[in-house]
Amino acid sequence: MVNQELIAQLKSSQSLTFSDALYLLRAGENVCRASWSDIKYIALQKPDEKSKMKRAYLYAVPKDGQAYPYSLSNTDLFLSDWSIYKA
């Protein structure tokens, strides 16, 4: 269940932890880190009945638009410079 009040609070924050970013990803938002220069955002791919993948995964969308699966680094996990991606 998505808590709309929490989402509103997180959307107004300037610095999010990865835990906050993950909550937003699960709610359908795209997120990014302030220090990224080559990646526009990451998103959560949730499988459906037609998907070959049976589990959810993160993917990155770089500036060239060629999305790829994304693995978090330790830095990604522990820094608080996450935000909602705004196109």
Q: What is the pLDDT of residues 20-67, one digit of tens each?
A: 999 999 999 999 998 999 999 999 999 888 888 889 999 999 999 999
C-alpha–C-alpha distance, residues 60 and 72, integer Å: 10
- Is pLDDT of 1 > 70? no
